[in-house]
């Protein structure tokens, strides 16, 4: 009994020697599209605001931990208004979500930098929708009412990414690239005139700063 207790205590001590918590902020940029079924002639959405939010990361092992975030992100798509034309006049739809991804993270020390790999699910809640077109030369966007019979408030899916970070005594800077795929449809297929599927496909880049608590994992 004493030996088992000592083993448990030593294990807890060993894990706590590697424990470290990070809290910080991030900002980034997302490029997105919607995969419709039946297929539509869509274009990727660019230049529609920056993502920003909070980051929480925890490691209790040297190479394995998890990361959670809470931030605002813009996703959507563009498509030609008249398919018979060359496609210079485009319709644009932009959805703004509050998103919560939760990652398992693996990282390795490259001396000057840490390289890390993230993978995990996300869930997002739609807070605003905008639409418009560039028939006047520039996009004229306006807010649209969210119809809960037509528009899905909840999106969910998977994310994966790779990044680099650098630890300093006063904090950590990181940069990362990600890809994601949504399993929730943007619009409900049961609503009249809506497609059978409308799933988000997106890529993002982001940078951030983290303040760390606990022991150094290097």
Judged against a pLDDT cut of 90, whether residue 87 lies above it is answered with: no
Q: What CATH number did the domain enclosing 208 receive?
A: 2.40.160.20
- Mean of pLDDT values over 190-205: 93
Query: Residue 14 falls within a domain, yes or no?
Result: no
Cis-peptide, bond into residue 38, ω within 30° of zero: yes
160 within some domain:
yes
Q: Strand 90-109 relative to strand 171-185: parallel, antiparallel, unpaired?
A: unpaired
The model's pLDDT over 38-80, given as tens digits with 9 standing for 90+, comes to 999 899 998 678 899 999 999 888 889 999 999 999 999 999 8
- Which residues are paired to 59 by β-bridges? 20, 65
Residue 161 lies in a domain: yes
Mean pLDDT of the chain: 86
Which backbone phi and psi does 16 adopt, to 5 degrees? -65, -25
Residue 74 within a domain = yes
- 184: in domain: yes
- The enclosing H or E element of 56 equals strand 51-59
Domain count, the chain: 1
**Residue 9 within a domain:** no
Confidence of residue 142 (pLDDT cuts 50, 70, 90): very high
pLDDT at 120: 97
Backbone angles phi, psi at 57, to 5 degrees: -135, 140
Q: How many CB atoms lie within 10 A of CB 88?
A: 10
Q: Which domain holds residue 88?
A: 20-214
Residue 6 domain flag: no
Q: What is the sign of the dihedral through the CA atoms of 9, 66, 56 and 176?
A: positive
120: in domain = yes
34 vs 178: CA distance, rounded Å: 17
């Amino acid at each position: 009994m004493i030996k088992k207790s000592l083993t448990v205590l030593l294990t807890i001590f060993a894990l706590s020697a590697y424990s470290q918590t990070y809290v910080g902020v991030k900002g980034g940029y997302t490029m997105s599209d919607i995969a419709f079924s039946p297929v539509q002639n869509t274009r990727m959405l660019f230049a529609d605001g920056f993502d920003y939010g909070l980051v929480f990361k925890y490691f209790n092992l040297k190479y394995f931990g998890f990361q959670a975030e809470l931030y605002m992100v813009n996703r959507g798509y563009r498509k030609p208004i008249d398919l018979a034309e060359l496609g210079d006049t485009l319709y644009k739809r932009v959805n703004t979500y509050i998103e919560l991804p939760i990652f398992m993270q693996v990282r390795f020390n490259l001396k000057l930098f840490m390289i890390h790999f993230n993978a995990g699910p996300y869930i997002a809640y739609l807070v605003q929708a905008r639409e418009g077109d560039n028939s006047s030369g520039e996009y004229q966007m306006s807010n649209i009412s969210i119809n809960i019979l037509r528009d899905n408030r909840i999106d969910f899916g998977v994310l994966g990414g790779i990044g680099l970070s650098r630890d300093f005594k006063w904090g950590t800077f990181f940069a990362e690239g990600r890809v994601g795929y949504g399993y929730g449809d943007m619009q409900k297929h049961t609503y009249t005139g809506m497609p059978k599927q409308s799933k988000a496909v997106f890529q993002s880049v982001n940078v951030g700063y983290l303040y760390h608590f606990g022991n150094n994992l290097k």
